[in-house]
Amino acid sequence: MTKTQPKTKVAIIGSGNIGTDLMIKVLRVSKTLEMGAMVGIDPESDGLARAGRFGVATTAEGVDGLIAMEGFDDIDIVFDATSAGAHKANAAKLAPYGKKLVDLTPAAIGPFVVPAVNLDEHIGLDNLNMVTCGGQATIPIVAAVSRVTDVPYAEIVASIASKSAGPGTRANIDEFTETTSHAIEAVGRAWTGKAIIILNPAEPPLIMRDTVFCLINDPDEVKQDAIRKSIEEMVAAVAAYVPGYRLKQAVQFTRVPADEPVHTMLGKGVGEVAVSHKVAVFLEVEGAAHYLPAYAGNLDIMTSAAMQTAERIATELSAGVLTEGAPA
């Protein structure tokens, strides 16, 4: 009879929408993670109240309260679902204790991680950044194209329901566009990346929609089948941990007119680059509605990606492949 591995204890810093949804995912869905603590700064927050009802240890004293908790030493992984600025302070305070940090803010202290693309490359590090919701949804597509052919330029447009964008999301809008643009290049392997976010005020709220545009050079149209297949395989890989992730319609290829000045979109130093086609990919992300409404796919894909990352870390820790970070 196979001995069941004990679950890995995790803490979540941030008792807002993202942190609460993540907590419920851990409690309901994860086979390898166990809630060790829910951390907030507002004692009246719904997230802390729900955690208490679920029997999860809580503190309203932020990261300092977490460090002071009786079971802190038993926690191996800490999710940070606060803000970019707060994560920098939290990471500094946690550094001496050797915890693995999964960062759901745009702080990007650690490397950008998109589980379907590059988790294996960075899994041994102590601080992994989940980019942004738009990045988690669209960077896999850019990576799928770039593993077939060069991508001189990639642009993503993330449209989310305004109602799903809370104070934390709105406070980090500038960081969203900057972080996502950098990750399109660093993870998606586009030479130049551009990110645009739209807060859609429509009522009733619409689920997350994402559009990915890539410029490629394929004058004889011999790469289209390979690109299409690569994208479909990538969509399936993401959908394995984000069930509501799907292609909205078939991948489109459009020839770029010879007189269209696409060179103006390319980064400085790229020089003259031949571009023959635009690849357009239309995506939809429906949330699992564990805590948030189904239209909040932008938050669901973040918490799903973070949990996938932590589950892989937990599996590696249990197998002895990874070791806990050494305390300073």
Q: Which residues are catalytic?
A: 133
CA distance 111 to 107: 10
Q: What is the C-alpha to C-alpha distance for residues 281 and 149, in angstroms, rounded to an integer?
A: 16
Cα 4 to its chain centre, rounded Å, is 29
Rounded Cα distance between 233 and 136, Å, is 16
Q: Are 25 and 50 in contact (CB under 8 A)?
A: no
Which residue is it, tokens 């969509």? 235
Best CA proximity match to 289, nearest among 205, 180, 200: 205
Q: Which of 264, 261, 274, 259 is nearest to 216 (CA)?
A: 274
* Inter-residue contact 88 to 127 (CB < 8 Å): no
Residues 6+ apart with CB under 8 A from 80: 13, 14, 86, 87, 90, 91, 101, 102, 103, 104, 105
Two structure tokens written together for 243: 């069930």
